[in-house]
Amino acid sequence: MSQAIKRVALLFSGGPAPGANSVISACAISFIRAGIEVVGIRYGYSNLIDYTPAQPLVEGVHYMRLTEPALRRTRSKEGILIGTARANPGKNIKAPEDLHHAEKVAPMKRVDEALRSIGVDALVSIGGDDTLKTANKFKLFQDLLPADQYRIPVVHVPKTIDNDYSGIDFTFGYFTAVETLGTEIRNLHADAEAARAYFVVECMGRSAGWLAYGAAIAGEASMVLSVEDITAEYLAPESTPKRKIMDLNKIVSRIVTMMRKRREQEGKDYGVVVLAEGLAEYLSDEALAGVPRDDHGHLSVANCDLGKMVAKLVAAEFKKQTGVTRKVNGLQVGYESRCARPHAFDVMLGCQLGVGAFRALAEKGLNGVMISVAGQFDLHYVDFEKLVDPKNLVTVVRFIQPQSDFHRLARFLSSFPEG
């Protein structure tokens, strides 16, 4: 397989994550030392999705050669050497039968043609669950090519600071993001104590609460709530199995109860409450009116401003119950953590995943697998079929399991966890 591959492409898609350059650097160097050329596709799929022979890809604009001199001392560098974007060539492929629809697969066909036009014969995909879905669709598209046509093998490296990926325990960048946000929460806690105030911090975490919980634990927040905490007790009457809607008044009441107990039992008139931004998906249709969705169908939760919304309601309810005016500030955090300088753990994890991508393609001849690690950074290769639903081609989110030891840890460390 190493002799069959002459030029491999690395592509990063979706939001940034600390350790991205660890993956890119270690992966590229591994291929280069095996005599295989490496190109970095710039800005995700955005330069591939509109490819035509009349407008060929230009080196230095649409892609870049990755060489040892260019990669020197980049493992711990912030940002993403090859850039990123959220363009989605598989947007219209929602089921296996769509792969036989010429119009729906046209963007994926252009991606395939673009890669072939610059001599790419293997692809390393780096990104979140949506990018994994795209990699799987690319593999399925390749499977349907004529028997005599070369198929470009693809492997995927999981990336998300949200850490909600199936098939791997921790994704690169997660712990750096947790530490970055934990530091901010500790600073806000000192500010709150000085001014006798509260902060309601809306933390990144579109689907699950890993980042919010980790940041709350590291930052010593007074309370943390995520989608895993929206049980039947906190659902609104109009909620249905297909469309869960939380009762915002009950969430506000829980926060105010905690504030009152801190004041009455400990004499503390300050604190920090962390909310996972994914809770915005549980808002009513009225509250979400006009909020846009991206190419992957995800709600633009940043536009909901959940932190400020809840902060305003909490301040009003606290005054109603106690007669005391307490300043409650709402703010969003998360973006500042995505390109932070990666910690040693994320550098090591990113490097091992990058090397794993090389080994999967060049040494083991694999195709359609996600690179994973377990134990002492032991490499594992998980088939796409185990991670993506074969009927709707959607990945499965890994939530924090209620009453798991990690869930119980965050609850145990909160102020008055039963509040």
Tens-place pLDDT, residues 237-272: 888 888 889 999 999 999 999 999 999 999 999 999
Q: Residue 164: name the closest of 397, 353, 7 by CA.
A: 397
pLDDT at 55: 92
pLDDT at 284: 82
Structure token pair of residue 207 = 């689907």
Average pLDDT over residues 211-219: 96
Q: Residue 374 — φ and ψ, nearest 5°?
A: -155, 165
Q: Packing angle between helix 174-195 and helix 210-219, nearest 10 degrees? A: 50
pLDDT band at 288 (very low <50, low <70, confident <90, very high): confident
The per-residue pLDDT for range 9-53, each reduced to its tens digit, is 999 999 999 999 999 999 999 999 999 999 999 999 999 999 999
pLDDT at 2: 42
CATH 3.40.50.460 in the chain: give the residue spans. 177-339+401-413
pLDDT at 299: 64
Average pLDDT over residues 340-368: 97
| Amino acid identity at 239 | S
26, 201, 211, 228 from 22: Cα distances, Å = 6, 30, 21, 31
pLDDT band at 294 (very low <50, low <70, confident <90, very high): low
> Who has greater pLDDT, 297 or 109?
109
Portion of the chain with pLDDT greater than 70, in percent? 95
Per the prediction, the chain carries an average pLDDT of 93
In 268-313, beta strands by DSSP E: 271-276
Q: How far apart are CA 76 and CA 25, in angstroms?
A: 10
How many Cα atoms within 13 Å fall on the side-chain side of residue 331? 13
pTM: 0.92
Tokens 């400020």 correspond to 308
CATH 3.40.50.450 in the chain: give the residue spans. 7-171+342-386
Evaluate whether 279 touches 330 at the Cβ level (below 8 Å). Answer: no
CATH number for the domain running over 7-171+342-386: 3.40.50.450
| Amino acid identity at 335 | Y
Q: Packing angle between helix 405-413 and helix 210-219, nearest 10 degrees? A: 40
pLDDT at 419: 38
165, 278, 330, 353 from 281: Cα distances, Å = 19, 6, 18, 32
Q: Please, which residues bridge with residue 157 across strands? A: 126
Q: Residue 187: name the closest of 254, 294, 272, 72 by CA.
A: 272
Q: How far apart are CA 108 and CA 49, in angstroms?
A: 7
Average pLDDT over residues 228-244: 89
Average pLDDT over residues 341-351: 97
The per-residue b/e assignment along 348-367, b for 16 or more CB within 10 angstroms, e otherwise, is: bbbbbbbbbbbbbbbeeebb
The CATH architecture annotation of domain 177-339+401-413 reads 3-Layer(aba) Sandwich (3.40)
pLDDT at 21: 98
Structure token pair of residue 33 = 């030392």
56, 74, 94, 390 from 37: Cα distances, Å = 20, 18, 34, 33
Q: How far apart are CA 81 and CA 71, in angstroms?
A: 9
Helices (H), 204-363: 210-219, 248-266, 306-322, 344-358
What DSSP assignment string belongs to 103-147? HHHHHHHHHHHHHHHTT--EEEEEESHHHHHHHHHHHHHHHTS-T
